[in-house]
Amino acid sequence: MSARIFSGEREAAGIDPANRGLAYGDGLFETMRVHRAGVPLWSRHLARLREGARRLRIALPSADFIEARIADAIAGCDAGVLKLLLTRGEGGRGYAPPAAAEPVWLLSRHALPASPAAGLRLHWCEMRLASQPALAGIKHCNRLEQVLARAEAEAAGCDEGLLRGIAGDAIGATSANLLVLHGGRWLTPPVDACGVAGVLRGWLLERGLAEVADLAPDAVESADAVALCNAVRGILPVASLGARAWAPHPAFNELRSGLAMAYPMFAEDRGAA
């Protein structure tokens, strides 16, 4: 991993112990796929980052400056993952945000995770996602629900954990959005009370390839096919959820082929998944 840290538009040597992201999770992050020294989904990540900064009232460096630093960070990188972490900056003890804090943010580059050799095994998590519309959709840094849920899934010997909201409907996996096939239509849960509005989920919705619908657990388990999607790994098939198993479905291949035509980086992953 390589990383660079910035305070506003000045490079910094490290993270101050008084950083509010460290103390309170007062910040945002984006995890992006790098392909041939570029970030093909950058405009979508930037839009979500801007929305998150607006909601949390965190100052954001200029897009030109961020983009220049991203270009530096991924120069010569054919395939990988880039994480952008934005915090409000330094502040004293206590929750009240400083009136004029300078944002502190960092860029870190990581290896691309291997594509799974088979469909994913999912586990229904006991952990529930709390409802908070003010934070729903954005990628804020308070992720303890996902941390505990992922630990549940790993303890169960599964690849991912499937999370429900307080009311009991499915919301998504710990690090991916949920796609469920019913009657030839791909459905994905709403994320206006909790969960993350993934950039690939948004792409699918804009093109009419998926639609938003409430999904009770039995609607997931009775689906013709289930998949997960995120910006790093694309669209991945689900093979099982507890005792329920799914065989490969032609509609999944059609959906992933459409994504690969728009974003060729995901075509390169298809053989291994």
Cα 150–chain centre separation = 14
Q: How far are the Cα atoms of 126, 146, 183, 197, 268 from residue 244, in angstroms, in the given order?
A: 18, 23, 18, 26, 29
Same domain for 160 and 250: yes
Q: What's the confidence (pLDDT) of residue 1?
A: 67
Residues 234/200, Cβ–Cβ less than 8 Å:
yes
Residues 200/229, Cβ–Cβ less than 8 Å:
yes
In whole angstroms, what is the distance from residue 21 CA to residue 248 CA?
42
The helix or strand, by DSSP H or E, that contains position 211, with its residue range, turns out to be strand 211-212
CATH of the domain at 16: 3.30.470.10
Same domain for 222 and 100: no
- Within 13 Å of residue 80, how many CA atoms lie on the same side as its CB? 19
Rounding to the nearest 10 degrees, give the CA dihedral for residues 31, 204, 49, 169. Answer: -90
Query: pLDDT 10s digit of each residue in the chain, 273 long?
Result: 679 999 999 999 899 999 999 999 999 999 999 999 999 999 999 999 999 999 999 999 999 999 999 999 999 999 999 999 999 999 888 899 988 889 999 999 999 998 888 899 999 999 999 999 999 999 999 999 999 999 999 999 999 999 999 999 999 999 999 999 999 999 999 999 999 999 999 999 999 999 999 999 999 999 999 999 999 999 999 999 999 999 999 999 999 999 999 999 998 665 443
Q: Is residue 241 part of a domain?
A: yes
Same domain for 241 and 171: yes
What is the edge-to-edge ordering of all strands in the sheet holding 10-12?
10-12, 2-7, 104-110, 79-87, 27-35
Same domain for 178 and 43: no
| Nearest Cα to Cα of residue 176 among 188, 167, 166 | 188
Same domain for 164 and 98: no
* Secondary structure E strands in 47-175: 79-87, 104-110, 120-129, 160-165, 170-173
The residue segments making up the domain with residue 57 are: 2-110
Which neighbouring-strand residues pair with 140? 28
Q: What's the confidence (pLDDT) of residue 117?
A: 82
Residue whose token pair is 């050799």: 117
Where does the chain have alpha helices with state H? 20-24, 42-56, 63-74, 144-155, 199-206, 217-221, 250-262
Q: What's the confidence (pLDDT) of residue 210?
A: 98
Question: What's the total number of domains in the chain?
Answer: 2
Q: Is residue 271 part of a domain?
A: no
Same domain for 245 and 132: yes
CATH of the domain at 158: 3.20.10.10
Same domain for 69 and 15: yes
Q: What's the confidence (pLDDT) of residue 271?
A: 42
Q: Is residue 74 part of a domain?
A: yes
